[in-house]
Structure 1
Amino acid sequence: MRETVSLDWRSLRAWCALAILIGAYFLQAPVESFAIAPLKQAADLHMIKDGAMSLEAYAALMIVRLGWNALLVAAIWAVLGRPFDGFPLKDRRVFRHIVIGLLIGLVVMTAAILCIVFVGDARVSHVSQPAATALKFGGGWLLADVVGALGEELYGRAAILLVAERFLGWKGAVLVSGLMFVVIHLGNPGASAIWLVRLGIQGALLAYAVYRTGSLWWSVGYHAGWNWASAPLFGAAGSGYLDQGHLFDFLPYGSVWLTGGAVGPEGSLFAFLAVVMAFVLLRKTLPSIARNCGGEFGSRSIL
């Protein structure tokens, strides 16, 4: 992978885009609260219900977040003078990239959880529920996680990369994306140092995948598959939250270093191995693309 794009940090457009990005970060929470309040009142939605995340409330929040971050990316595109069908959204292989990413995220997170079980620090049991209920929650959470992943990737792997690469190049942008992935999760329940370090590495992986594949769609699929395997499928805490209607029960009782503690298997040492596995699988399953983006900001060649 190499870069031929010239840095653009002296450009007024780049600084305006950075100001929009920073402003959007601080405005996101109040905007989401304002937008979701009528929905909560009309449908009597509660984010935490019986000790677990409500599917309906979570889905509503993710839809609002998706809309907000889509507007953010559009604003940054406009300020930077980019075409609205350009990098990193335009991709003729969207479905393929999403599916491959989804499967890899599902496989590596499942592997991490099964490793915890294998070493004897947790057990997994089946939740007794009607097939229709399992299908409702399993399918519902998968759709919600895809929407949520797309919203988060629009911020972390579209908006941030488009701006950061103007100042630091693609390698610096990857590091900034990883750092911001940590920052936006600092308030999650049970956040631990090891979990935050793993988040930073995973955020950098997701950003690297954008430059390797030429779009953010692998990252969207991987992000959704990872999240779905953890909480909706195995019933473990996902980023500190339990999900309503999970299909299995993950019952940890061993070392916090291995189980992840309150934050779930994502905070386990095995989660680091899962990220390494994902990196290897990304490179094995998808060849690096060569991409040139000409115009006002020079050209980028990613190999």
Structure 2
Amino acid sequence: MSMKNRIQEGIYQQTSRFRLINVFFRHGELRSLWGILLFAAIYMSLQTAVASPLEHIFGAWNGRSHLITPGNHLTREVIQSAVLLISTVLMARVEGRRIAAYNFGDNSGWIHLCWGLVAGFAALSILVGILWSLHLLMFDGVGLHGTSVIKFALAWAVSLIVGCFWEIALLRGYLQFTLTRGIGFWFAALTLSLLFSLLIGTHRAGFLYIGNAFVFEMVLFLSLWYTGSLWWAVGFNTAWDWAETYFFGTSNSGLVSEGHLLSTHLTGSILWSGGKIGPEGGLFIPPLMILTSILMWLCWRRVERSTKAQTLAFAKQDSAN
């Protein structure tokens, strides 16, 4: 082969190599599509090889896996959260990022978590109050007494915060961060909310529940938009589920749990009360979520304006000096 042919062959091979690299990488970063596919492959592999066998073992050992108890729920959610965190850490190593980059990092994380807890309990309490005032929900009395009150309150709190962390981080962690790089924040939020709502709503309830789940998920994405982290959403979802599961003793997405403080039952039209699905299956969810969004906007926009005003004031002072 002549020198000219060898040079041309080298140029061709180098060009082909660059083209192949560009298929997987853009500006030195793994393209979002390949990142999501790799994350899904790792996550599903761990689910099949680790999570499913462990859940089967612990479920068989407990012997009461058909009942929703704090222990059974916590076991499953710890396994699911561990699989999710391992998958996220592996992707962080592949992409050369810290795990905090995937919406976990937040200097005010504890504050956002606590305010989320307050907001979630308040929102569910308002919903229950509306249903009770319209005779769509009836209180049957107190279901727990003595030390069982504290025992189940703490057990459900721990179990639900782990479970809600898994649910929130699954949608608003690596997947949201990576999909945002490809199609933008709100298209990513719409896509993930729709897919998740269809997943949990199919074969369980009708279009109303799916629509309510979609609206609920979008509100949690709105909190991510304002705070820059997923911790407010974790707090809100945890307190909402805790109020349903433990405090008021209503169905939680159609599931009734063991160990609730109050005993209640829903009556009247299922379009408004939610019926067997629970309070989150009725027509009051969309207006309640709209009200929550407005309050979030009023609160966080005010903080944002205050922060910007302080920044401008410091900038003017520095320029004057």
TM-score normalised by structure 2 residue count: 0.79
SS of alignment partner, residue 215 of structure 1:
coil
> Which position in structure 2 is the counterpart of 1:279?
293
Q: Give the AA of the match of 1:171.
A: W
Q: Which runs of 4+ in 1 moved over 6 A?
A: none
Higher helix share: 2
2:32 paired with 1:14:
yes
> Which position in structure 1 is the counterpart of 2:268?
254
- Give the superposed CA RMSD: 2.4
2:125 paired with 1:110:
yes
2:111 paired with 1:100:
no
Flag the 1:19–1:274 CA change in 2: closer, same or farther, 3 A: same
Can you list the C-alpha shifts for 1:57-77, whole angstroms capped at 9, x where unaligned?
001001111101112222333
Q: CA deviation at 1:23?
A: 3.0
> Alignment identity in percent?
21
Flag the 1:71–1:251 CA change in 2: closer, same or farther, 3 A: same
> Which position in structure 2 is the counterpart of 1:172?
187
> Which position in structure 2 is the counterpart of 1:34?
53
Within the candidate set 153, 163, 188, 1:148 is matched to 163
The within-5 A match list for 1:62-101 is 62-101=77-116
Flag the 1:284–1:156 CA change in 2: closer, same or farther, 3 A: same
Q: CA deviation at 1:278?
A: 2.1
Flag the 1:85–1:129 CA change in 2: closer, same or farther, 3 A: closer
TM-score normalised by structure 1 residue count: 0.84
Flag the 1:103–1:63 CA change in 2: closer, same or farther, 3 A: same
Larger Rg: 2
Flag the 1:233–1:210 CA change in 2: closer, same or farther, 3 A: same
> Which position in structure 2 is the counterpart of 1:224?
238
Flag the 1:203–1:21 CA change in 2: closer, same or farther, 3 A: farther
Question: Which structure ranks higher in relative contact order (CA pairs < 8 Å, sequence separation ≥ 6)?
Answer: 1
| Residue ranges of structure 1 left out of the alignment (5+ in a row) | 1-7, 291-303
2: CA distance, partners of 1:48 / 1:134 = 23
Asked if 1 retains the 8 angstrom alpha-carbon contact of 2:43 and 2:84, the reply is no
SS of alignment partner, residue 138 of structure 2:
strand
Number of residues paired by the alignment?
278
171-180 vs 220-229, greater mean Cα deviation: 171-180
Asked if 2 retains the 8 angstrom alpha-carbon contact of 1:232 and 1:247, the reply is yes
| Residue ranges of structure 2 left out of the alignment (5+ in a row) | 1-22, 306-321
1: CA distance, partners of 2:285 / 2:154 = 24
